[in-house]
Amino acid sequence: MLVNDEQGALVEADVAVSGERVVRVEPGLHGLEEIDCRGKWLAPGFVQTHVHLVQTLFRGLADDLALLDWLRTRIWPLERAHDADSTLVSARLGLDELLAGGTTAILDMATVHHTGAVFEAAEAAGIRLYCGKAQMDRDNEAGLGEDTERSVASANALADRWHGRGKLRYAYAPRFVPSCTERLLVTTAAEARRRGCLVHTHASENRDEVALVRALTGRDNVEYLHDLGLTGPDVALAHCIHLTEREEALLASTGTRVLHCPSSNLKLASGVARVPELLARGVHVSIGADGAPCNNRLDAFAEMRLAALLQKPRLGAAAMAARTVYRLMTVHGAEALGLDAGVVAPGKLADLLVVDPDQLWTGGDPYAAMVYQLDPRAIVSTWIGGQKVAEHGHMLGVDPRQLAAEARLALGRVRERAAL
């Protein structure tokens, strides 16, 4: 069995797990309960740092639109029409896809209401979930939002209930500057830090968004967030495509996390993030698929492949080498969430993938195969904390036909309420 160790080396070894952690990685282990993985690769679970589980139900309903139109005419009306059951079904759809495809931890942003249903679905599935309700206290065309006091109070109540419960963590999630007043942003950052939670928002995804932020605040997006205290290692900013030199320097000097979403950025025509330049500056970058309506998949393999390929016409064939991209989806993702994971090594969390390299045969570098070649069909099984949570294309305990039937019913209710 081939595994990658803490130094990134590839070794033939057996792996021993006790409780939630790897305890030994060495050849010839005996006297333990055995799982036969001969001919397979054992890899760390993927960590996707920007996902919207509440949007999985809306896949295919918001295609071929730019960001602000996509939000105003499709996503916000659909999110506003969610009920608790449709939110639960949407989360289960997304979790089934993510776990079967090798993602073991996610940073997720829900919508304004029914966020508890996302936590319930994740708890049942066994994934490591960092999630918060979308906080929005500025008026918008869809009427999705609430006043500042209610937004903060409900987020605090969710954090108090779910943060630290098993594999679940709360992450405060003001949606983005155009949806949030300055008071909401400042208060949310303070509440998150008081509870030891991450702050997760969007920034500088689209040129129209950047112009809108300048009109609202008189400053560039990241600069404005920095002035309000929303930078640092506990702050995760999705996208960060349209940045000034000063903003890039601020991200590097503060240790703020950047969440790269290559498929979403292309599909919404938002642009190409300058990831190699950000990495060269010392900016911490990890990867997420974003939501199903702007991707339209939650496939970690597809995101790694695209993250590597889209930089090469711009900077040359050597840009974004496979091993670099693989680290963004494993080591960097774990670091962004503060997880002791991302490699197969003693003491690390046993969040592991059994991978069949013969799904699409390779005779070359396994890192290149993982980034350029394989897809979710190569995942034999997914393990979190030493427990199997998915195998052969679905999370355990899921009847895909029944889940699809539930989704059709739930989406019918949502579309009727949204008049879409």
Q: How far is CA 78 from CA 29, 74, 111, 131, in A?
A: 53, 6, 10, 19
pLDDT of residue 286: 98
Q: What integer pLDDT is reported at residue 8 of this predicted model?
A: 67
pLDDT digits (tens, 9 = 90+) for 148-158: 999 999 999 99
| Phi and psi, residue 297, nearest 5° | -125, 165
Looking at residue 364, what is its pLDDT? Answer: 84
Which residues are CB-neighbours of 6 under 8 A, at least 6 positions away? 343, 345, 348
134 CA to centre of own chain: 15
Please state, in angstroms and rounded to a whole number, the distance separating the CA atoms of residues 123 and 118: 9
Q: How confident is the model at residue 2 (pLDDT cuts 50, 70, 90)?
A: low
Instruction: Quote the pLDDT of residue 259.
Output: 98
SS3 215: helix
The predicted structure's pLDDT at residue 218: 97
> CA–CA separation, 341 vs 347, rounded Å?
9
Contact between residue 297 and residue 325 where contact means Cβ atoms under 8 Å apart: no
- Pinpoint the alpha helices (H) of 14-71: 67-70
pLDDT greater than 60 at residue 256 = yes
Q: Is the pLDDT at 1 greater than 60, yes or no?
A: no
Give the mean model confidence (pLDDT) for residues 152-169.
98
Q: Across the chain, what does the average pLDDT equal?
A: 95
> What are the strands, taking DSSP E only, across 329-414?
352-355, 379-384, 387-391, 394-395
Residue 39 burial (CB < 10 Å; 0-12/13-18/19+)?
Answer: exposed
**pLDDT band, residue 7 (cuts 50/70/90):** low
pLDDT of 361 reads 82
- Mean pLDDT across the stretch 60-78? 96
The angle formed by the CA atoms of residues 378, 333 and 46, to the nearest 5 degrees, is 15
Token pair 């036969």 is at which residue? 36
Reply yes or no on whether the pLDDT at 404 is more than 90: yes
What pLDDT is stored for residue 239 in this prediction? Answer: 98
92 membership: H or E segment, kind and range: helix 84-100
Residue 208 has pLDDT above 60, yes or no: yes
Q: So what's the pLDDT on residue 359?
A: 87
Reported as a pLDDT band with limits 50, 70 and 90, residue 36 is: confident
Domain 45-344 has CATH 3.40.50.300: no
Asked whether residue 167 carries a pLDDT value surpassing 60, the answer given is yes
| Percentage of residues in the chain having pLDDT higher than 90 | 90
- pTM given for the model: 0.97
Region 37-54: mean pLDDT is 95
- The token pair at 415 is 């579309």
Residue 6: its pLDDT value, please? 61
172-198 burial code (b ≥16 CB/10 A, e <16): bbbbbbbbbbeebbebbbebbbeeebb
Q: How far is CA 26 from CA 5, 206, 353, in A?
A: 10, 48, 18
The pLDDT confidence band at residue 3, using thresholds 50, 70 and 90, is low
Is the confidence at residue 126, as pLDDT, over 70? yes
Tokens linked to 112: 């304004």
Q: Residue 26: pLDDT band by 50, 70, 90 thresholds? A: confident
pLDDT digits (tens, 9 = 90+) for 345-394: 999 999 999 999 998 888 888 999 999 999 999 999 999 999 999 998 99
Q: pLDDT band at 12, cuts 50/70/90? A: confident
Mean pLDDT lowest for which of 6-10, 273-277, 348-352? 6-10
